[in-house]
Amino acid sequence: MYHLIYTSYATQLFSEKELLELLKESRAANKKLGITGMLIYLHNKFIQVLEGEYEKVVALYDAITKDPRHKKVTLILEGNTKERIFKDWSMGFKKISHKEFKELTGFKDLDKYFKEKPITDESPAVMVFLQLFYKKNFIDYPEEMQRQ
């Protein structure tokens, strides 16, 4: 299963309504293409993992690089895994404070998930990157989350 991770900057601040519309569009398009993954929008920046058939993921990424809502689109990592990592994930969005974020069950589950799945030599590169991203952004520098 092919995957890639990219980051980009939003060309404008997204309101909750605009993010929900983006979510709706993305879910519909990704379902048709058989693409799964995850999307994070934080401080006007996107980080997204896309996974699926190589040609379809590359075509979607190419479309994202041309989307006027993105700038400075940067491919961070790409590769293959034996199976989908995000097969049961759907993108979601909720505007919350740092305190609410820390109290979310999903946040605790993510923390538990990464603790239960330590990085090994056999870990897919995409998971290594996500764990490092999580650690750097939510554990090592939690004060960044408070600026929201």
| CA 31/CA 75 separation, integer angstroms | 22
Q: Give the chain's mean pLDDT.
A: 76
**pTM beyond cutoff 0.85:** no
How is the beta sheet containing 70-80 ordered, strand by strand? 36-42, 45-52, 2-10, 70-80
pLDDT in tens, 2-44: 999 998 999 988 877 887 788 888 888 888 999 988 887 777 8
- What integer is the mean pLDDT of 125-145? 61
- What integer is the mean pLDDT of 39-65? 89
- What integer is the mean pLDDT of 127-135? 71
Smallest CA-to-CA distance from 7 within 100, 106, 73 is with 73
What would the two tokens of residue 108 be?
């605790």
Q: Please identify, in words, the CATH class of the domain defined by 1-92.
A: alpha beta
Using pLDDT thresholds of 50, 70 and 90, give the confidence band for residue 132: confident
pLDDT in tens, 60-90: 999 999 999 999 999 988 989 888 887 766 5
| Degrees to nearest 5, angle at CA 49 with 97 and 110 | 45
Range(s) of the chain covered by CATH 3.30.70.100 = 1-92
| Predicted pLDDT of residue 142 | 46
